Amino acid sequence: MKSVVLDDPLLSGFPTLFPGHVWLVGAGPGDVGLLTLHALSALRQADVVYYDGLIPQDILSLTSATLMYAGKKAGESCRQDRITQDLIDAARAGHRVVRLKGGDPLIFGRGGEEMRALHAAGIPCRIIPGVTAAQGAAAYSQIPLTHRDYNSAVTFLSGHQAETLYGEAWHDIGLRSPLLVLYMGLKNFDKIRLRLLEVGRCPSQPVAFISAATTPHQETVFTTLGESLSVWPTITSPAIIMIGQGVEPAIRPR
Ligand code: SAH
């Protein structure tokens, strides 16, 4: 077993990732500069890193641990229970384990499920938060997530299973949230847009599509809810979609 020395003075005194422990670590949305020092310390200490599909190479190159891919392959999801079992097995084998997730582990990242399974298996676990895609997309597109003049609330929504959003709650969320931020919203955007218009959202509301946020390939496209279908097919994944008056200051800076 390698011994871990955090020789960077910035990281000295940081918590120790002990053998047999698992840390769920947020890698942020792409820009390596958005990694936290805790995340860097975790990567430096790990024996094995299970990483998701959206983690860029320059973040993976910060660790000398064994890298295990735990993301999507050719449109297929690795089964969640398989990943969780691998984490448990690696910890039981005495490894220092990092589960590296895009953005924040507890925002649409299934970190909650992994944490619960680790607890149930008696494996000590720690969560290192990361900059979530919404924050990265907002900052790098200069869209305030809250703004005194526009919105005092922001809602993070998953568009992954849009059909589950069609209940009563969706009516309230869809109509009343001043700024909606959609994760995994590209595929079902046509249905989501229609539903938003049906519950009474105004077609003139600003919309921003932000692809590959915080990376050198970031693209931000501004439109309105009414006109958004014409640009939607050109937007590439991964993308964050922001809908609401809160997008306005980015379009017309004061
Ligand atoms: N836990 C992650 C979200 C995982 S869900 C987080 O906190 O950010 C995956 C979705 O996140 C993608 O479908 C996309 O909507 C969004 N996403 C992740 N990285 C992104 C990026 N760099 N740019 C735009 N959207 C991103």
Has residue 80 got a pLDDT over 90? no
d(CA 191, CA 157): 14
CATH tag for 9-131 (out of 3.40.50.880, 3.40.1010.10, 3.90.190.20, 3.60.15.10): 3.40.1010.10
- Residue extent(s) of CATH 3.40.1010.10 domains in the chain: 9-131
Tell me what pLDDT residue 172 has: 80
- Residue extent(s) of CATH 3.30.950.10 domains in the chain: 134-249
Has residue 166 got a pLDDT over 90? no
Has residue 74 got a pLDDT over 60? no
CATH says 134-249 is which class? Answer: alpha beta
Tell me how crowded residue 126 is: count the other CB atoms within 10 A of its CB: 16
d(CA 194, CA 205): 13
In order of 23, 76, 110, the CA distances from 43 in angstroms are: 10, 27, 20
State in Å: Cα 103 to ligand 1 middle: 7
d(CA 183, CA 186): 8
Tell me how crowded residue 157 is: count the other CB atoms within 10 A of its CB: 21
Summarize pLDDT for 5-26 with one digit per residue, the tens. 577 888 888 999 999 999 999 9
Q: Which residue, judged by its Cα, is nearest atom 18 of ligand 1? A: 133
Average pLDDT along the chain: 90
Best mutation site among 99, 108, 217 for ligand 1 pocket (most ligand atoms within 8 Å of CB): 108
Tell me what pLDDT residue 246 has: 83
State in Å: Cα 137 to ligand 1 middle: 9
The residue with greater pLDDT, 173 or 44, is: 44
Summarize pLDDT for 191-228 with one digit per residue, the tens. 999 989 988 999 999 999 999 999 999 999 999 999 99
